[in-house]
Structure 1
């Protein structure tokens, strides 16, 4: 195992992949979750994406920058799901 830093494209590929899973999860929650359980399912999506981010970063076998890559992944997931929660909340509010 080498301690050489990863290439930027390889670093961001894993991070964007986790963000994409968060977007897909938010869309699935918006479509399939009952109105009263949407925020519960968004919380479960957050937990699943955090575990996925941890696994993806562990699979790189690079210890340099691990905390930075994991932090960026999780902060992005929280941002994506916060926007989804706001939109779902507004949709519920104006729905009736």
Structure 2
């Protein structure tokens, strides 16, 4: 592990990358998943994004700020998927 701090752009790139995967996953779930399985696939998207966040943050070999970076990443993913779940739930409610 290195003790040289990461640049802010590298920190945010790793965080925004996982958030982008969450948005892409939510869009793919909305398009391709059967209506009864939207929440199941959103849960799997959350699991995949969590694993990706761990891989990216551990891959930096930077122990300083690891918990902060991982927390921000996962909270953002949960927020994105919560909005997606709300939209899909409302769509299902009004569809019939």
TM-score range, shorter chain: over 0.9
Name the structure 1 match of 2:68: 68
Equivalenced residue count is: 96
CA offset at residue 78 of structure 1?
0.1
**Separation of aligned partners in 2, 1:67 and 1:6:** 14
Structure 1 stretches of 4+ moved >3 Å: none
> Unpaired segments of 5 or more residues in structure 2?
none
Name the structure 1 match of 2:92: 92
> Unpaired segments of 5 or more residues in structure 1?
none
CA offset at residue 4 of structure 1?
1.6
**Separation of aligned partners in 1, 2:2 and 2:36:** 49
* Pairwise CA RMSD: 0.6
**Separation of aligned partners in 2, 1:8 and 1:70:** 14
**Separation of aligned partners in 2, 1:48 and 1:67:** 18
